[in-house]
Amino acid sequence: MRRGRVPEASPRGTYLVISETLRKSIEKGEVVDTLPSEAALMAAKNVSRNTIRRALKVLEEEGVLESVPGSGWRVARGERPTHLAGAM
């Protein structure tokens, strides 16, 4: 498997795997402000736009990302939310 590529099939759902990968990149400080475009994420992960959008929506619902109309997606400002699974 090439680096950055998502396995062909995932029991958790590819969009969840991608959202977890993005979350870890944000936590590590690899992404500090604006995410790459949806098109760039699609190419990097070799998935459809719908899969990328579902992954981004998961992170938006968790308060990790926020959508900026006309600019794309950026890391949410303010307190870093805790991951739901980590809190359980």
Residue 51: the pLDDT is 95
Residue 80: the pLDDT is 47
Which is nearest to 75 in space by CA: 87, 65, 88? 65
Cite the DSSP H helix spans in 1-88. Answer: 14-27, 38-45, 49-61, 84-87
Q: Rounded to the nearest 10 degrees, how much is the dihedral formed by the CA atoms of 38, 80, 63, 40? A: 0
Residue 28: the pLDDT is 93
pLDDT tens per residue across all 88 residues of the chain: 455 665 555 556 999 999 999 999 999 999 889 999 999 999 999 999 999 999 999 999 999 999 999 999 999 986 544 555 444 4
Residue 73: the pLDDT is 95
Q: Rounded to the nearest 10 degrees, how much is the dihedral formed by the CA atoms of 62, 24, 22, 40? A: 160
Residue 1: the pLDDT is 44
55: number of Cβ within 10 Å: 26
